[in-house]
Every structure is written in structure tokens, then in C-alpha cells.
Chain A
Amino acid sequence: MSEYLLEMKGISKSFPGVQALDDVSLKLRAGTVHALMGENGAGKSTLMKCLFGVYKMDAGEVLYEGQPIHIANPFEALQKGIAMVHQELQPIPERSIAENIYCGRYPTKLGGIIVDHARMYQDTEALLRGLGLDFDPRAKLGALSVSQMQLVEIAKAVSANAKIVIMDEPTSSLTQNEVDVLFRIINNLRNQGCAIIYISHKMDEILRISNEVTIMRDGKYIGTWPAGELTNDLIITRMVGREITNLYPKKENVPGEVVLRVEHYTSIHSKSFRDVNFELRKGEILGVSGLVGAQRTELMEGIFGLRAITAGSVEYLGRPIRIIRPKDAINQGIALLTEDRRATGIFGVLSVSDNVSVASLSQYLKYHIMLDDKRISKLVRDNIDKLSIKTPSEKTPIKSLSGGNQQKVIISRWLANDPDVLIMDEPTRGIDVGAKYEIYCIIADLAKQGKSIIMISSEMPELIGMADRIMVMCDGRATGFVEGEDMNQEKIMELATRFES
């Protein structure tokens, strides 16, 4: 028996134009949690997809309990005892929780002809109870919240009786309580001798749960250290390859007169946002905080015309405006950077150039009907320079850029419209540390230029570091505003949990 349960050696993988992995190693001991860290685009997910058989590696070998193995597809991986919780959920919302968990390996009877539903529901029930999850196995998966679905996804991986469980950003949409549940599950697995590969950007989680940490940068292996020897700063330095002295840029913006006044804003859905009032000043960064489910995104989408309201008004520079669809908001000079970049932000198959210009094409016409390619190209190049977007060319499809660079492209798209109000919903979600700082700089700079910014974020330090004022929401209502001295985690948490009794 070898010292390691799994060894990956000299793994390389290239995509057209990108060397995603270059001679990467990973050594995994049984009964440990092994954190895999690196900026976005460092190759963590690619490495895991190579292990799980989703991608075929170009070079390198994998030893499992000392024996070389070859995994051609996810099915083989599962059979060999490797399970993966994917970064993006792959739920079948219209089917039951049990069917989702046993999808592809339903228990059968009568020699495999009929699915044994009774056993499937029983097993699921037992599995969920064992993990401390209180879901009905027969309920449709679609009835759960995103974070609950993620827990089901984790239960699915556990149910495979895997020896190795890969978790790719499992906590990205979990609430604090759910994270505690997850960590309990991870501890149980570890005690049973499983090895867990844990990918996350959240330092405190990593230091809390993991035994060893492997750090990658730009597709290369940087090193492996026992978690006890690491600190936040050390990890960041090794991930980024340089020291980060300031987490947030210096703010030089001066809030001026009121630009946007939202009053009694109420959704058509009784459980969504209701009776929300707030003001936004010129050159102000207004943070919006709240727990998952506080309806922050819904409120902003309501203001932007993506969701219908029953009551409420918006005043823009002192005069009432009517917003029914996004186009109306855009015409008024309001822009929305949506939360889910992939689903409602990027056009994956289209070029960087098209992605930047798509919302402002009408400003780039000659002879009234024809697009002025020269001016568009200048706009795109200016933005690539100004926001230092890393892309091989303006014609590169946006899907081949890293998350941070995609985000900068989307920000460019809105800046091209020269908006006065920029609503940014989780602008740094899934973006690595270095790129986060760049995004902060862009936000601070925009505020300094007199743009008004609404910034939703689930990361409190980020909000406290960036915002002039923070609106806290709980369960669809704005429960309070904090600024100056009051802007601390305790006060915000208190407001964020002020549920109606």
C-alpha cells in the first residue's frame, strides 16, 4: 500500500490557444481534506475534470492506491470510487430528489427490468437523515432553493460510497448554517477514511477544514503545504505570485445630490421585496447586504425592469420615471451587471468585441443604419486597455477568457453606454483575488468620476471596504442603513436577521 491514496503526476492539458495545465502534480492521503487553491484560470477545475474523466489529459499519469489507472469518462471514475460535486449544478428540477441522487444507477428489481422505487426512496431517506438533511425524497428537486440543491448534490456524491470526493466550490451558494452542515459531512467522510479534494476561494474555510493545501498558478504546480503552516497572507502571496498590500483601493469619491430615489417598491410576489425605500447619491457607492434569500437581486432586477411590481415609484434626478423593460432603464442611464455571468451576462460564442458593443450599437452607426466598425473597434480596444482585459484578441470568443476578464468585458459593455447609475450584483463572485482588486479599483474610479453605484455583495468585508453606505435587507424588506462607525459585521448581521415575527 502506497503512502498516498491518489497521485497525479506530470499532468498537462492544452486547449486551442491555452496551456491550461503544465506538469501539475497532486498527492492525496486517505482520511484527509486536501485543499486545492489558485486564482480563477489557475487550472484547478481543469485538473479535477481530468481526474474525473470529463477531459482527456494530454500527458501525465494517475496512480490510485499505487496502481496506474486510466479513467476515460465520469462513469468509470464513479465505479473506481471517485465522486465529484460540480461547480455548476446539474439538476433535473422536474424529477424527485431521490431520482436526482440515483440518476444513472437506479436500484432495480426483477433482474434489472424495473426501477425499485420503494428502495430508492428508502435509501434516499436514510442517506439524507444520515447527513442531517431534512428533505422529502419524493419532493421535486426544483422545489428546493439553490443552496439546498447543492446539499443534495453533495449527498449524491456521498451516496456513491466514494473513496475520493472532489468538491468544486461547494459553498459558493450556501448560507452559514448550511456550510456548518457541509463541514459536518466532510468530517464524517474524513473519519471514514475518505479523501476529499476541496476547491474554494474562501480562505477561512480552507484553514478551518483542510489538512493540506496545494496551490496552483497559471496552470502550474506551485507547491503543497500542511494547512497549519499557512496563513491568509501566505496563501494569497503564493496564489498571486506577488504580495498584495492593500485589499481595497483608496476611495476618493464625494457623494453629491440625490440621483435615484426609490419609494415603496413592492414586487408582485408576496414573498419577494416589499415596501423598499432608498436614495442613491451622485458619486456614491451604496452597498446592499443581506442573507441568501433576502431578495436583493430581485429588488435590483425590479428596478431594472426585469421583474414586475405592484407598487412603488422611481425618481430619477427629481422626476418620476417608468421602467417596464430593461431598455427603459438603459435609456435612463441605468445599467445592471447581473449576478449570474454565464446565464444572463456573456454571449459565450460571440467575440469580446461583440460582447462589449452589443448594448450600445445604436450609438455606433454611420448613415443611420450601418455599424461603424472602426469606431466600435476603437471602443473595444480602449476598454481592453483601460480595464486591462487579458484577451488574445478582440475577436476571441468570450467563453475562453477567465471569469475576471469576462466580468471586465461585461463592465465595459455597460460603460460604453455611459450610465449614471451602475447596479452591480455580486461583481466579484467567482473571481480570483488579483482580479478582485482590479474590479474594486474600477468601481472606486467610477464613483470618483461621479457615477452612482449600487453594489450587492454577500461578502461583508468587501462591502465594508468599498461602500459609503450599506442598505441591509432581510426577507424582502430593507431593515436598515449603516454608515461610518456603524458599518461593521455585527451591526449588519443584526439587521440582516431582523425577521418579521
Chain B
Amino acid sequence: MQIDNNKLSGRRTGEFLLNNAVIIMMLVAAAAVSIMRPNFISQYNIKNLISNTSARFIIALGVSGCLITKGTDLSAGRLVGLAACLSATFMQRLDYTSKVYPDMGEPPIIWVFLGVVAVCMVFGLLNGLVVSKLNVPPFIATLGMQTIVYGICLVYTGAQPIGGLRKDYTNISSGSLFGFQFLPYLGIIALLLGLIMWFVYNKTPHGKHMYAIGGNENSAEVAGINTTATKIIIYTTAACLYGIAGFLYGAKSGGASVNLGMGYELEAIAGCTIGGVSTNGGVGRISGMLVGVLVFELLKIAMQFMGVPSDYTYIVQGLVIIMAVSLDIRKYVAKK
């Protein structure tokens, strides 16, 4: 039988459009906004976009490993919050009147950073242990951890916002390389982390094992992969990234409170899914995640710019998430 090539290529184009529908639609929307309001493409907006995307991308990098192994991590946002609060309490100015630790001097930034990340990694390790050793479904395990971390954060901060941060700390998030607006430190750090994770996912046995577990956990076990250790590493690495993100968020917002990070895990999961990380496991690329997060942030900024009240933007974001997942599932169902 002769297959009609035109028809086939037409179908392929259609497939391509559908598989990338969410990304295409958001790009079109952003283009429309910038045509209607040319000043949308301003230095301020672009810098805002880069720094927002960067922070979210780091969280998404963490969650992605969990998603690829058919898990999830709902504690991401709260861990970001905890990391931000921890960082902030150690990064207050000496002359600030309501210091949390009034007798403390100015500890070196790097020690605070490492300490905060280490604390987060302990929680990630616990997540990994509960998921892989106790076999608690990741959704439930990390839901529990989310609540625990929030509680700890409340106790630690006494529910008080923490302000008066040192300039050298906030500069990490607000400054940029050579003072060039399009090269904020935040963006460079995110890109660097993205590269490292790309390397881990594509060039190391650990990465291959992760995709294998997501593809078929039983086969992975039989192939001699230590699935327990692999999962523990994934959840711990994820928490490490949340710690980094939280440290940067604290600097970015110039202060921290317990509410920082609320719901970030959902945005990160949404970004990953829009970027092609399959909820069925075993599939997902770093480049896709970056695009997914970027497009999602673009949508938010565009809506904000158009004067859509922020309450409404939540509704739109929710719709986008559902649409993205339904299109993702379609790829696997339609292949019959």
C-alpha cells in the first residue's frame, strides 16, 4: 500500500503542534502581548523574567529526578522556605535592631550557604529513606514532610518575618556579571546548576539508573541496580537544590518569612510537565524543563503586565497545568 506522504507529513506537523501545544500557545500569547504593548519587552521585564525563571528552574531541577522515577516531592516549596529563613537569620546586618541572634557577628557567606544546604539535605535524605526503605508512596511521604518542615520553620522563626539582610548577601541575587543587566548572577548560577544536572542525568551511571527505575522498576532491580540507593540520592540531591534555591530566594526577596516558598513545588512540577517530563516516568530532559519553567514564568509576567489581577492568574495557571498533563498523557495513549 502506498502511504500518502503529504498526508503523513501533515499528520506529523499536527502531532508536533499538539505535543508542544502549551509552549506554542504561551509563546503566541507573549508575542501578542508584546505587539499590543511594545514596552513589554523592557530591560526590567526581561531581567525580572530571567531571575524568576532561574530560581524556579533550580527547584524544578530538584523535583525532576523524583518525577522521572515516578515519584514526586511536595516538600520542595517548604524546604525552599526553610532554607530562606535559615539563611536570613544568619545574614542580618550588624546594625539591624531586631536581630534574631543579636550577639552573632558576620559569618562568612559560604559557611552559611553550606550549612543551610546541608540542613536541607538531611530532610531530603529522610524523604529518600521513607520512600525507598519504608515504601511509603512519594506523594504521601513528601506531603508529610511538607507539613513537618512548615512546622519546624514556624517554630524556628516564631512566625516573624526576618529582615535587615546584609548587602553582600542580597547582592548575590540582585547583582549581575560585569554589571550587565542580562547576566544576573542568579541566571548564571541556575545555568551552571542546569549544566551539572544535565551531566548527571546524561553522562553518569546514576542518571541512567534513574531513567531505568522510572522506565521499569522491576527490571531495574533485576538488572542489579540498587534502586534504594538511587532513590535516596535523588531525593537528597533534590533537597540540596531546594536549599540552594532557598538561599538565593532569601537574597532575592531581601528578607524571609514562613510563607516564602508556599506552592513552589506545584509550579516546579508544572514547569517540568510542560517541558515534557512524563508523569508516566522514565522520560524528561533538562532542556525541556528549562523551556517549561521559562514559558510558565513568561505567562505569569505577561498576565501581570496586562493588568490581570493576580487572583485570576491562579485560575489560568491551574488550567495550563491540567492542559499540559492531559496533552502529555495523550502522547502515550494515542500511540496505539
A contacts, CB < 8 Å to B: 12, 14-16, 19, 22-23, 54-55, 58-59, 304, 306, 325-327, 329-330, 336, 338, 343-350, 354, 357-359, 361-362, 365, 369-371, 373, 413
Chain A residue numbers with a CB within 8 Å of B225 are 327, 358-359
Chain A residue numbers with a CB within 8 Å of B216 are 343-344, 346-348
A12 touches B212 (CB 8 A): no
Q: Let me know if B205 is at the binding interface, CB within 8 A.
A: yes
A362 touches B215 (CB 8 A): no
Interface SS, A side: mixed
Q: Let me know if B319 is at the binding interface, CB within 8 A.
A: no
Number of cross-chain contacts by CB at 8 Å: 87
A358 touches B212 (CB 8 A): yes
Contact with A along B179-212 (1 / 0, CB 8 A): 0000000000000000000010001110011011
What are 21 pairs between A and B in contact, CB < 8 Å?
Answer: A19-B3, A58-B1, A306-B222, A327-B226, A338-B222, A344-B216, A346-B219, A347-B215, A347-B220, A348-B216, A348-B282, A349-B280, A350-B212, A358-B225, A359-B225, A361-B205, A361-B209, A370-B199, A370-B203, A371-B203, A371-B204
Within the complex, the shortest CB–CB distance from A305 to chain B, in Å, comes to 9
Question: Which residue of the partner chain, among A16, A23, A330, A343, contacts B224 with CB atoms under 8 Å?
Answer: A330
B218 touches A343 (CB 8 A): yes
Q: How far is the CA of A306 from the CA of B225 in the complex (A)?
A: 12
Within the complex, the shortest CB–CB distance from B104 to chain A, in Å, comes to 38
Q: How far is the CA of A54 from the CA of B336 in the complex (A)?
A: 8
A55 touches B336 (CB 8 A): yes
Chain A residue numbers with a CB within 8 Å of B278 are 349
Which of B199, B216, B223, B278 has the most chain A CB atoms closer than 10 A to its own CB?
B223
B211 touches A326 (CB 8 A): no
B282 touches A350 (CB 8 A): yes
Q: Let me know if B168 is at the binding interface, CB within 8 A.
A: no
Known: A344-B216, A345-B219, A347-B219. 19 other contacts (CB 8 A): A16-B335, A19-B3, A23-B1, A54-B336, A58-B3, A326-B221, A336-B222, A343-B216, A343-B219, A347-B220, A349-B280, A349-B283, A350-B212, A350-B282, A354-B208, A358-B209, A370-B203, A371-B204, A371-B208
A326 touches B215 (CB 8 A): no
Chain B residue numbers with a CB within 8 Å of A373 are 203
Within the complex, the shortest CB–CB distance from A493 to chain B, in Å, comes to 31
Chain B residue numbers with a CB within 8 Å of A59 are 1
Q: How far is the CA of A12 from the CA of B4 in the complex (A)?
A: 13
Q: Closest A residue to B216 by CB, please name it.
A: A347
B205 touches A365 (CB 8 A): yes
Chain A residue numbers with a CB within 8 Å of B221 are 306, 326, 344
B211 touches A362 (CB 8 A): no
Q: How far is the CA of A413 from the CA of B212 in the complex (A)?
A: 13
Within the complex, the shortest CB–CB distance from B286 to chain A, in Å, comes to 16
B224 touches A327 (CB 8 A): yes
Q: How far is the CA of A361 from the CA of B202 in the complex (A)?
A: 12
Within the complex, the shortest CB–CB distance from B176 to chain A, in Å, comes to 32
